[in-house]
Amino acid sequence: MSRDINNKFWDEELETLPREELEKRQLEDLKEIVKFAYENAPYYKRSFDEAGVKPEDIKTLKDIQKFPFINKKTQRDTQGVGSFLGELAAVPEEDVVFISTSSGSTGVPTMSPFTKKDFDEFQDTESRWFWQIGMRPNDRYVHALNFSLYVGGPDVIGAQNLGALCIWGGTLPSERLLFVLKTYQPTVIWTSPSYAWQLGEKALKSGIDPKKDLNIKKIIVAGELGGSIDATRKAIEDIWGAEVYDFYGLSDIFGACAAMCEAKDGLHIAENHILVETIDIHTGEILEPGQVGELVFTTLRKHARPLIRFRTGDIGRIDNTKCSCGRTHGRIHILGRKDDMFIVSAVNVFPSDIEAVIREQDGITGEYLIRIFERDFTNKYAVEIEKNADNPKTDEQVAAEVSAALKARIGVKPARVVVHPDGGLDTRSEHKSKRVIDERNLEYVI
């Protein structure tokens, strides 16, 4: 298939469907997938029967609200039960061509199975996002994401199907990756936001100026929140002289759920694949579009393992208004993981809020570590940062400035700010960084 490279849309009809038409298609697919799940996945048969709901109850999109939620625990509890793929799967194993699995960072890894059609549609959606950020067949693309088990690995096929020249980087050591960037002069790279930033710093320290010596024009980031934090995105863009775009995938569904466009105002979600709801994290009450809550996804077209009302654990809001880019699919704004949020003096704090402050401050490197702990049965947080070598201020002055900036932004001061010299924090891991340490109730764990 040859496309006009000047057309900004990968699939113009789909991407600009009037919402009424888009919702009509969603309803058709919703009816089909709920029926398919009920008839083929033992878990849904049981849970719908227990809840007294039937697939025929779906007459409008809102009728999904009658159906029970599932979450990560549902996946874990049903995995391997009755068959290898478990009770949420709706096809026999011979129809499955691929599984990815989650990292298991919050428990037993869960797998996500795909039929051939599921997989092809996943990659077509990925091509759509690549095209959306301006990737064209004459681009050279480095896919610097883990290929082993991780759902982001196969996304490279979406770039190949688009016609770009693809280099399967995986998790190469930094020196080798910089060699690839210098020698082959690729124009687009995808990695995690913390690694994009660290790689830029490493390049500078090894005498390579990413702006002059490399040819990277666009950087895709995912896997952490940084790409949706303006200050972090700007910091990466400044080092590389490139545009940064945030993408969002879920190991439970696929690697191509949502992506930024040139407006960089939220991430367009593939509403032809995913029906989005937002709910109150405590009560489960349905919220209106625009209100902040937990995002709940229903997969509309994934047959190997349909997810009906899956609580993602991500906190955010959806904006269904038409974007300035012309696309009609809604945009999600993600604030963070429900599990990462902590409460200090009755204020909900996301690590991303703290990151935004740290990345905006002058005279510090931007590296940080957050510690959450308990004193007198009250949550407190402390922040560790690094002072730039050429910053003439004392550590006390720097700590006071950061503390005041955090108070201004979040509303609650940190219990302390620890200032390290440049390179003093051990947070520069390859590809994905651990920046939040929760020390609460540690004595009970021990």
Per CB under 5 A, residues contacting Zn ion are 261, 263, 323, 325, 327
C-beta separation of 16 from 132 below 8 A: no
Nearest residue (CB) to Zn ion, 102 versus 328 = 328
Q: What is the dihedral of CA 183, 187, 193, 196, to 10 degrees?
A: 20
DSSP codes, 165-223: EEEE--S--HHHHHHHHHHH--SEEEE-HHHHHHHHHHHHHTT--HHHH----EEEE-S
Give the span between the Cα atoms of 326 and 16, in whole angstroms: 7
Q: Which is nearer to Zn ion, 329 or 380 (CB)?
A: 329
CB of 295 to Zn ion, least distance (A): 18
Contact status, residue 127 vs residue 111, Cβ threshold 8 Å: no
Cβ proximity to Zn ion, 83 vs 321, nearer residue: 321
User: What whole-number distance in Å separates Cα of residue 305 and Cα of residue 124?
Assistant: 19
Which is closer to Zn ion, CB of 51 or CB of 263? 263
Closest CA to 276 of 340, 321, 331, 328: 331
CA–CA separation, 77 and 55 (whole Å):
23
Q: What is the CA radius of gyration of the chain?
A: 23
Pick 253 or 261: Cβ nearer Zn ion: 261
The rounded distance, in Å, linking the Cα atoms of 181 and 187 is 9
**Of residues 137 and 326, the one with the C-beta less far from Zn ion:** 326
Closest contact distance (angstroms) between CB of 332 and Zn ion is 12
195: which 2 tokens?
A: 């690694």
Based on DSSP, count helices (H) and strands (E) in the chain, helices before strands. 13, 19
| Residue closer to Zn ion (CB basis): 5 or 263 | 263
Match 């919050």 to its residue by tokens: 106
- What φ, ψ does residue 422 adopt, rounded to 5°? -55, 125
d(CA 245, CA 233): 8
- In whole angstroms, the minimum distance from the beta carbon of 320 to Zn ion comes to 12
CB of 27 to Zn ion, least distance (A): 24
Which is nearer to Zn ion, 199 or 325 (by Cβ)?
A: 325
Closest CB 322 distance from Zn ion, rounded Å? 9
**Structure-token pair, residue 362:** 């002058």
Closest CB 263 distance from Zn ion, rounded Å: 5
Continuous segment of H or E residues that includes residue 123:
helix 116-132
Q: Which is nearer to Zn ion, 325 or 369 (CB)?
A: 325
Q: Output the CA–CA distances (angstroms, integers) from residue 36 to 48, 67, 71, 91, 97, in the order listed.
A: 13, 15, 19, 10, 19
- CA–CA separation, 268 and 293 (whole Å): 18
- Between 41 and 325, whose beta carbon lies closer to Zn ion? 325
Comparing CA positions, the residue from 147, 142, 175, 184 lying closest to residue 159 is 142
Contact at 8 Å (CB) between 88 and 43? yes
CB 273 → Zn ion: shortest distance, Å? 17
**Residue nearer to Zn ion on the CB measure, 21 or 280:** 21
Instruction: Say whether 394 sits in a helix, a strand or coil.
Output: coil
Q: Which of 444, 365, 10 is nearest to 194 (CA)?
A: 365
Task: Compute the least distance from the CB of residue 5 to Zn ion, in Å.
Answer: 19
